[in-house]
Amino acid sequence: MSDPRLAVDFCGMMFQTPLVLLSGCVGFGEEYTRIEGFSNRDAGAVCLKGTTGSARPGNMPHRVCETPGGMLNAIGLQNPGVDKVISDILPKLDFEETRFIANVSGSTLEEYEEVTRKFDDSPIDAIEINISCPNVKEGGVAFGNDPEMSARVVETCRRVTNKPLITKLSPNQTDIAYNAKRCIEAGTDAFAVINTLMGMAIDIESRAPVIGNNQGGLSGPAIKPVALLKVHQVYQVAREHGIPIIGQGGVNGPEDAIEFLIAGASAVGVGTALFYDPLICNRINEGILDYLDRHGLASVEQLTGSLRLNTPAAAKCGC
């Protein structure tokens, strides 16, 4: 969809709409082009599937499980490795149609550095750092759940690329705003807020987890209230430094996208909804334009951070 009111300047990249197709939901960007009526032009950017240094086969099945209001997944970063992505996949993508963002994952700082350096020497537009991966050298603790570990990943990647760096923040931590602050100090250019929440589903007949990996990442409408709060919290830190946010988690229609923009996002990620409505982006864009018309706004950028917080009445105790 081409309408200048939807255009967003994100880290110097012009997105033709504020929508971003999220990593893991559209493969490496070519899968949805086979669907009649789908157009990458409905999205400002496409995040490619998580990529590691070497090829990974992924986790044992089941890898995906539908839950009330959402979906659990534990794919296990199945991918052909960064060299194959660059040599075989990127040449097939139409960089004139939309922006493409690589998603870098790793188990060590050295792997993050290797993959980021290789993507730096490629036509990719930007690099998203998935810091929710476990650090095998630190007992398997996820990089993204510790602010200092998160900052070290950002610093490592920042040293080897001049492309825009987008840090994907985990909600599975104590203080996401402080983590964001450390990542800004380490050199991130933007944030994606949030990654999935950890969850489980159990088959009561076998008394075993449905997911082969026992636990997985919960996405979909069920996590939207959490995601909105996290975007608002990160925005309080990010706006001081001009750091934009991709707000994501449970976007199922235009109203959801507008909520994320008002909470502080500059762009909005669409993921789980694509599995049951591959053409949802056009509907979201049309809904945003209708909202702009009804509220007399000239640009979607005017919505970012426009939240009007309530002023709670003083408590009776005088606190």
What are the extents of the domains in the chain?
Answer: 4-303
pLDDT given for residue 143 in this prediction: 84
CB 98 within 8 A of CB 40: yes
pTM for the predicted model, two decimal places: 0.94
pLDDT value at residue 198: 93
Positions in the chain short of pLDDT 50: 315
Look up residue 202 and give its two tokens.
Answer: 């159990």
**319 catalytic residue (yes or no):** no
Choose the catalytic residue: 11, 47, 65, 133: 133
C-alpha 158: how far from its chain's center? Answer: 19
Please check whether residue 18 is in contact with residue 257, taking contact to mean a CB–CB distance below 8 angstroms. Answer: yes
Q: What pLDDT digit, counting tens, does each position of 138-171 carry?
A: 655 578 889 999 999 999 999 999 999 999 999 9
State the CB neighbour count (10 A cutoff) for residue 94: 12
Secondary structure, 3-state, 118-140? HHHCCCCCEEEEECCCEEHHHCC
**Which residues make Cβ contacts (< 8 Å) with residue 84, sequence separation at least 6?**
55
pLDDT in tens, 277-293: 999 999 999 999 999 99
Task: Give, as one character, the DSSP assignment of residue 315.
Answer: P
Would you state the pLDDT for residue 137? 62
State the residue for tokens 């650090």: 135
Give 72's contacts (C-beta < 8 A, 6+ positions apart). 64, 65, 199, 200, 201, 210, 211, 216, 217, 218
Q: Does domain 4-303 have CATH number 3.20.20.70?
A: yes
pLDDT of residue 2: 78
Q: Name which of 65, 156, 54 is nearest 112 in CA terms.
A: 156
